[in-house]
Structure 1
Amino acid sequence: MELIAAAAMIGVGITMGLAAIGAGIGNGLVTSRFIEGLGRNPEAQGTLFTNTLISVGLIEAMAIIATVVALIMLFANPLLTH
C-alpha cells in the first residue's frame, strides 16, 4: 500500500514538473518569436500581440490541465483512499 502511494506521488511530481518545464519552454519560444516578428515588422504589433496572448494562454491552459490530471491521478486512486 505504501509503495503504491509513493509511486503515485512520484508520478504526480514528474507529471507536474514536466508540465511546468514544457510551459516555460513554450512561453519562451512564443515570446521570442513575438519579439523577432516585432523587430521585423513593427506595424503588425497589434496582430502579433493578440496572437501571442492567445498562444501563451493556450500553453498555460495545457500546463494547468496536466496539473489537474496529475492531482486526479493522486486523489482518485481507489487504492489510496481509506
Structure 2
Amino acid sequence: MLAVAARTVVRDASGLPPDLASVDALARAHLDALRSGRCEVLRGASDDLVELLRFAGLVDVLRVETVVSPIRRPAGEGTL
C-alpha cells in the first residue's frame, strides 16, 4: 500500500462578505477539494464570517484558522 501525501490548499477568505452565499461557496469548494483528494484550510476570514460558519456548524469541518490578537494593556500595567 502506498501512502500519498495529502495536498493542502490554503484558501484566503479575507475578501468574502459574511453572508450565506459565502458559506455555501466555501462548503461547496471544500467538498470539491475533498473529492479530488486535497485538504483545505481557510485563512483570513472576518470575525463575522467565522461566527456565521460556527453557527452553521462548519468551523471545524472547513478547518478555519483564526488569528488571536494580543491583549493590549496601558503602559505600566501587567508587568511583574
Q: Is the pair's TM-score, using the shorter chain for normalization, greater than 0.5?
A: no
TM range (shorter): 0.3 to 0.5
More helix by share: 1
Tell me which protein shows more strand as a share of its residues: 2
TM-score by length of structure 2 reads 0.38
Please, what TM-score do these two structures have when normalized by structure 1?
0.37
Larger-Rg structure: 1
